Structure 1
């Protein structure tokens, strides 16, 4: 039956683990792709065992972190270190559109199931590799995490109060999600669109380092054109202007983002200090900055929110995460949704950040148990019941079983 979703009919073999690949394929799954999560015959994706858990759900599908990334997907367990397991993947790829992986470069090549080998089985395959530093260059085999990539590409250096103070890491994973997952999804869709014309797939090389660096487009333009040397504490949007900063108020924090004179003018007039308009672009440490700090301390967050309603000056409270998730704005935008997770009932997750008017994304199922769909997926690929039983007996594939190692990890 047709789902009416944009990626209906798209089959994705997702070999990735943890965050970047999981979020990338989540975007595809929420909009209709059949995402088959290819996990090993041991613990599977490590994030399955990360607390907290939704009570009542099947042991390998109860982690809230796992479900946040893997709803709407199917799970199979394949041992790619065995010849029989590799043959299973080669057979599955013949009917797939996309392969997504996030291993270090060369891992799947050494196993004999890298891009070139998969391409022999299916020339139309779009193969996306999300890595830290890309498939070329001096850091190909270098390990890393989000903060390392941001440290090397200049993003981390811009966050903080002063040039001699510490860099401040963002609360969300910019390189993992922005540089990796989103660029991966874009690259996959670009390659699929081109395949519509040429009939051929291709390799999509996504580097989290590259992707996050591309977010510095306007900063880099100033370096290229004017030879500027941007530094934290002096960047316009990093706290160097009194009109664009977070401020402490009587019971928390608020943000003032009044870059345009009309907005700062509305703020200054609203607080009865029109003379501050002339100091809009002064920096911290000035007398005007101290005066604005003192003004904000005279009201609570709620009072400042009411002030913003009345004066339209780009002023908003700083909400804690749990407050944001309960906010009227989040509810109105349907950014918290519920879906059915077997055993746990209705559980909450974040909604779709992209709203389509005719074919909006939706959650078609909860998160899969480890290996829940092994027999189903292999049967769809043409394996007979006898072949599947033999593969299970040999250990080349596994079905839905609770990994003993997982229970220990979950409680550690």
Structure 2
């Protein structure tokens, strides 16, 4: 088998990262939008991968933030395809047939319904590395829960430090951590594909990644509370039972309308994003009052049933008791720990494994370390 990523294909076209990049010749078909997936593929593009960005009609919604979009899409190429149209799906599969890696960031089940899921792509490219980047993963009882970065931090127990109140980080930690883990997973799978010709199906979830972080070490209070971002429907709120939850509504009018329906805020329901931003303090106040009249867990259940990005602010113990994370295998047990957090990304073909505990100093001195073949 050829040692080249592209196995017999011609040189990379003009404008594609040159032969100096570590991943030169690796072709990545990127169907993701917003931040996590584009950040993952940006990490690949900056070290030489040929990333073809597939955008929906109207473009990636992150283009509404020009500076951030620019930083997340350096070195990439772009093509607009309407995957709801047969012609768009056909063209996508043509591109996928010639790709080494395909990465998508839709809600679980969407690519399958569109006809561009893993099995569809594998039918035209049997050795493809196919990566799905999502908030809560492709499986589990919360896999379809809506959200943004803040929601996934809350589900993962990352917003409830010991010794202090929950703090909204200045950085979108879940987005960045999930994107970096996905990039690592794609590189690992592509390396094995290069050596063996076998593809991989990757399931990278932002909550999984953060759960492995908080499972390894309890977050500590920083001592300085950061201000909640000034977007109505986005931030941390206290319910009537004293428990905390987060809302992750940003620009999406459909999320806002559903939030107002759940909270009984009929007078504010039809406000568009621009109008909402003119009345941040008043709207946040009305939301807080409405939430204060409800129990947290019941309210979160109602929010999720209405497809609103809501999540409980779990502490570390709450995260470790999560049915979702246990079903995902993120919270598990190993021979050395009654409760442990596993590898943050799922590999279907070659799953990660913990075969031994951490070594003691000089434990392997007597073993022969032969050169690699």
TM range (shorter): 0.5 to 0.7
Q: Distance in 1 between matches of 2:167 and 2:152?
A: 14
Q: Secondary structure at the match of 2:89?
A: helix
Q: Does the 8 Å CA contact 2:156/2:214 hold for their aligned counterparts?
A: no
Q: Distance in 2 between matches of 1:145 and 1:84?
A: 31
Which residue number in structure 1 is paired with residue 251 of structure 2?
none
TM-superposed CA distance for 1:144, in Å, is 1.2
Superposition RMSD on alpha carbons, in Å? 1.9
TM-superposed CA distance for 1:197, in Å, is 2.9
Query: What are the residue-to-residue correspondences of 1:149-168 with 2, within 5 Å?
Result: 149-158=152-161, 162=164, 166-168=165-167
Q: Does the 8 Å CA contact 2:27/2:99 hold for their aligned counterparts?
A: yes
Which residue number in structure 1 is paired with residue 186 of structure 2?
188
1:312-341 per-position Cα deviation (integer Å, ceiling 9, x unaligned): xxxxxxxxxxxxxxxxxxxxxxxxxxxxxx
Specify every segment of 5 or more residues in structure 1 that has no aligned partner in the other structure, as ranges. Answer: 51-62, 220-229, 240-244, 247-412
Which residue number in structure 2 is paired with residue 405 of structure 1?
none
Which residue number in structure 1 is paired with residue 60 of structure 2?
45
Mark the CA change 1:112 to 1:44 in structure 2 (over 3 Å): closer, same or farther.
Answer: same
| Greater C-alpha radius of gyration | 1
Which residue number in structure 2 is paired with residue 238 of structure 1?
221
Which residue number in structure 1 is paired with residue 200 of structure 2?
202
Q: Distance in 1 between matches of 2:216 and 2:45?
A: 33
Aligned residue pairs: how many? 209
More helix per residue: 1 or 2? 1
Q: Distance in 1 between matches of 2:216 and 2:171?
A: 21
Query: What are the residue-to-residue correspondences of 1:10-21 with 2, within 5 Å?
Result: 10-21=26-37
Mark the CA change 1:217 to 1:139 in structure 2 (over 3 Å): closer, same or farther.
Answer: closer
TM-superposed CA distance for 1:48, in Å, is 1.2
Q: Distance in 1 between matches of 2:29 and 2:216?
A: 36
Q: Secondary structure at the match of 1:99?
A: strand
Query: What are the residue-to-residue correspondences of 1:52-67 with 2, within 5 Å?
Result: 63-67=66-70
Q: Distance in 2 between matches of 1:102 and 1:32?
A: 22
TM-superposed CA distance for 1:147, in Å, is 1.4
TM-superposed CA distance for 1:36, in Å, is 0.5
Which residue number in structure 2 is paired with residue 34 of structure 1?
50
Q: Secondary structure at the match of 1:18?
A: coil
Q: Distance in 2 between matches of 1:6 and 1:196?
A: 14
TM-superposed CA distance for 1:149, in Å, is 1.3
Q: Which has the higher contact order (CA 8 A, sep 6+)?
A: 1
TM-superposed CA distance for 1:214, in Å, is 1.3
TM-superposed CA distance for 1:105, in Å, is 0.5
Which residue number in structure 1 is paired with residue 351 of structure 2?
none
TM-superposed CA distance for 1:3, in Å, is 2.9
* Corresponding residue to 1:23 among 39, 48, 51: 39
Q: Distance in 2 between matches of 1:145 and 1:171?
A: 14
Q: Does the 8 Å CA contact 2:62/2:69 hold for their aligned counterparts?
A: yes
TM-superposed CA distance for 1:216, in Å, is 2.1
Which residue number in structure 2 is paired with residue 384 of structure 1?
none
Query: What are the residue-to-residue correspondences of 1:136-285 with 2, within 5 Å?
Result: 136-158=139-161, 162=164, 166-178=165-177, 180-219=178-217, 237-239=220-222
TM-superposed CA distance for 1:21, in Å, is 0.7
Q: Distance in 2 between matches of 1:126 and 1:12?
A: 9
Query: What are the residue-to-residue correspondences of 1:305-316 with 2, within 5 Å?
Result: none
Q: Distance in 2 between matches of 1:6 and 1:158?
A: 39
Q: Distance in 2 between matches of 1:175 and 1:124?
A: 30
Q: Distance in 2 between matches of 1:181 and 1:134?
A: 13
1:257-296 per-position Cα deviation (integer Å, ceiling 9, x unaligned): xxxxxxxxxxxxxxxxxxxxxxxxxxxxxxxxxxxxxxxx
Specify every segment of 5 or more residues in structure 2 that has no aligned partner in the other structure, as ranges. Answer: 1-10, 12-17, 225-373
1:127-171 per-position Cα deviation (integer Å, ceiling 9, x unaligned): 110011101100111101111111122111117x53xxx311211
TM-superposed CA distance for 1:49, in Å, is 2.4
* Corresponding residue to 2:95 among 92, 96, 114: 92
Q: Distance in 2 between matches of 1:73 and 1:142?
A: 30
